[in-house]
Amino acid sequence: MKGFAVTFTLTMVLSAIPLTAQPNDLPYRDPRRPVEERVADLLGRMSLADKLGQMVMGGRDWVTPAQVETQRLGSLLSGGDSPPPAPNNLAGWTAMIQGYQAAALSTPLGIPLLYGIDAVHGFGALPGATLFPHQVGLAAADNPDLMRRIGQATAQELAAVGIYWNFAPMVAVVDDIRWGRAFESLGADTARVSRLAAAYTGGFQQGLEALDQDRERERERGQDQDPNRGQDLPRPLATAKHYLGDGGVVFGSSHFQIRGAWSRLDRGDTQGEESVLLARHLPPYQAQVAAGVGAVMISYSSWNGVRMHGHSDLLQGVLRRQMGFTGLVVSDWEALQFLPATGFDQQVAMAVNAGVDVLMEPARTAEVLGILQALASSGQIAPARIDEAVARVLRLKFAMGLFEHPGAVAAAGPRVGSADHRALAREAVRKSQVLLKNQGALPLWRGQRLLVAGSHADDLGLQSGGWTLVWSGFQGDNQRLPGATTLLAGLREVGGDSTLIDYSPTGDFADPRATADADTKAVAKADDKDEVQADAKADADIDGKGDQKADAAIVVVGEPPYSEWLGDRDAEGLRLTVEDQALIARVRPQARKLILILVTGRPLILDQALDASDAIVVAWLPGSEGAGVADTLFGEAPFTGRLPFAWPRDVSGIGPAPNLSPATEARLLFPEGFGLSD
Ligand code: BGC
Ligand code: BGC
């Protein structure tokens, strides 16, 4: 009751004081004028401090609204571990962002703030939001229209709290599944990454147009409650990341320890001929530019030893001049410190002069602003370069409509975790399932007796992976994702009352003949004849065999959640664990069929589990709608997913794509693109 009261009050306050646009008294504030005219007018009114502020992005954990005002910051982000101080709900987010936005608008020129976040599989930081499968699953689905709709839904859920900048899509073409970011990627194929990520960006950036049309209809019916009614909604900004060649990093080229974990590939070095770099890793960016992407984030990684954040040839020569990208270039989180220059000030100079427009330095905004001031006065950064960077930021803010609509979109509130969005996520889950093996175990049918086991069967954190509520994800507390459905809950829902499901994470099942009441329940609840018959048949089979407790056992295991280098592994680290193998062996004799479900961000070495399983399904990291897995298992939807990575048979089958050595190729279990239909 208390929680409800707090939320209610906040919501009331929010709708009472909407953030309104500035009056149109100056040319730059007049939305009828062309964007370029507005940019020129505003630039002409800005002091050096005003300009430098637009080039710096702070982190919300370190920056207060008062500092946004005094430092004239142009952008802010919530990193992976950065929910609002309290409460972490729609109202809490909206109030927090509104506080920062109000501070930005209170400066003399009133330039609205761009607030950014990593909504890489939906608005993962907000409990109750819709969580889509991580991109590796979407790559398996390989469906541009699905990507477009997911982009659109994500834009709407973010707009509900006033976030219009997403650090997605990641367009890395991944050579090596040992990289901890393989799950965030769209796989190993340049063309697939390009078409899927471009569809996402188009959907995301136009995501509020659909909302606008709906709002229009509601307005006609007199139901529109949005305080900003009548104004166009903003056009959100997507970010293609990480430029360039992040997915090509060489195993062993990275070796640092942060947060207690050693890296092997993340932030490492991509090596080889320029022609190869451009042919394999550049096309997704060309597709992004064609899709009108607003921002490009630079990669921590290097190419042939040269750090990307200082690579003027690739940042200016290729991205700007050859490709004609006109949006903004943003650095990655605290990435400047890796540049080969003496002192942080020279690292800042190097990045800005190489072509980085906005510096994501979450914790050091005051220091970076001081450095930029000094570099400007000493001429190490030319005034023209500053104007160029600032103009890019302003151009986007005008084009996005942020000056006219700086606040949250109240009409988007009901979309957060809505039935429509969850249905879309469930569809995405269904379409992303990859069937690797099936010897008469699938589809399941209603009325069967099923055993469900494994750590990942009933754990929302594990099935959602990294970038869920916290940077490297969580496990063990399903309450943290309200409205979400675990795989187990999905099996129960889709299986209905006639399907008898016994669940034990550790695979310790009682003999069903000892639980006669369960049989009674099945016969009583099965509402059609077939189901009763199926149940009777199942019982007969069990009795016939004498030693098996069920028709099928479903074992759900996989990877723990992780992010970035925390997920870097050596080849041995990609084996199913000894505990999971033991679980499979223990469950195997208890049912007539064993179905192995892998909840994972990348291929895993199956070892004995391959032969022990009658069916194997890769569920990837499905997110909040676990029932999509059950839909496919029960044959409600066909298996259409195809592997976005080749699947190794053993450790010698792991090596950098695309040019696998013949020895590595010989040790593959399934090629990229593999997937059975039934
Ligand atoms: C990641 C980016 C992310 C940024 C902001 C970095 O560590 O590499 O992908 O957008 O953090 O959270
Ligand atoms: C941030 C990431 C960053 C990581 C590493 C997280 O809180 O969101 O962007 O890479 O910390 O320190």
Evaluate the CA torsion angle 189, 192, 194, 197 in order and state its sign: negative
- Look at residue 377 and give its three-state secondary structure: helix
In a domain, 514, yes or no: yes
What is the CB < 6 Å shell around ligand 1?
79-80, 118, 167, 241, 332-333, 564
Angle at 85 between CA 83 and CA 91, to 5 degrees: 75
Ligand 1 atom at minimal distance to the Cα of residue 78: 12
| The domain boundary residue, chosen from 411, 426, 454 | 411
Can you name the residues that pair with 295 across neighbouring β-strands?
Answer: 239, 328
Mean pLDDT across the chain, nearest whole number? Answer: 92
Q: Which atom of ligand 1 is nearest to the CA of 184?
A: 9
For residue 391, the SS3 value is helix
| Distance of CA 117 from the midpoint of ligand 1 (Å) | 9
pLDDT tens digits, 566-582:
999 999 999 999 999 99
Do 464 and 571 have their domain in common? Answer: yes
Q: In Å, how far are 28, 38, 169, 218 from 395, measured between CA atoms?
A: 11, 8, 21, 31
Does 422 map to a domain? no
Measure the N-to-C terminal CA separation of the chain; round to a whole number of Å.
49
Do 493 and 385 belong to one domain?
Answer: no
| Paired tokens of 224 | 């529109």
**Helix-then-strand count for the chain, H and E:** 24, 21
On whether residue 429 sits in a domain, the answer given is no
CATH number of the domain encompassing residue 488: 3.40.50.1700
What is d(CA 201, CA 287) in angstroms, rounded to the nearest whole number?
10
- The pTM (predicted TM-score) of the whole model is 0.93
Q: Which atom of ligand 2 is nearest to the CA of 332?
A: 9
| Contact call for residues 124 and 414 (beta carbons, < 8 A) | no
So what's the pLDDT on residue 213? Answer: 82
Which candidate in 175, 332, 535, 631 is catalytic? 332
The residue range of the domain holding 225 is 2-411
How far does the centroid of ligand 1 lie from the alpha carbon of residue 332, in Å? Answer: 6
Q: 302-303 and 306-307 as β-strands: parallel, antiparallel, unpaired?
A: antiparallel
Same domain, residue pair 203 and 277: yes
Nearest CA to ligand 2 atom 6: 80
The verdict on 512 and 394 lying in the same domain is no
Q: Assess if residue 426 is contained within a domain.
A: no
Residue 676 lies in a domain: no
Based on the fold, state whether residues 384 and 458 are members of the same structural domain: no
Rounded CA separation 329/322 (Å): 15
For residues 357 and 501, state if they share a domain.
Answer: no
Do 305 and 446 sit in the same domain of this protein? no
Q: Is 427 a domain residue?
A: no
Question: 3-class SS at 535?
Answer: helix
Paired residues of 670 in beta bridges: 647
Closest CA to 620 of 446, 466, 389, 393: 466
Annotation says 332 is catalytic: yes
Domain annotation covers residue 651: yes
Residue 226 lies in a domain: yes
Do 379 and 472 lie in a common domain?
Answer: no
CA 258 to ligand 2: nearest atom? 12
Alpha carbon of 184 to ligand 1 centroid (Å): 11
Ligand nearest to the CA of 57: 1
Among residues 355, 377, 411, which one ends one of the domains? 411
Check whether residue 542 and residue 441 sit in a common domain. Answer: yes
Asked if 361 is an active-site residue, the reply is no
Q: Quick one: 259 and 159 in the same domain?
A: yes
Q: Which residues line ligand 2 (CB under 6 A)?
A: 79-81, 333, 471, 564
Q: Which residues of the chain have pLDDT under 50?
A: 1-16, 516-529, 531-545
The rounded distance, in Å, linking the Cα atoms of 212 and 602 is 38
Q: Which ligand is nearest to the CA of 181?
A: 1
349 and 204 in one domain?
yes
User: How many Å is the Cα radius of gyration of the chain?
Assistant: 26
Are both 385 and 475 inside the same structural domain?
A: no
| Boundary residue ending a domain (379, 411, 443) | 411
How many structural domains compose the chain? 2
pLDDT value of residue 225 = 59
Ligand 1 geometric centre to CA of 297 (Å): 9
CATH code for the domain of 348: 3.20.20.300
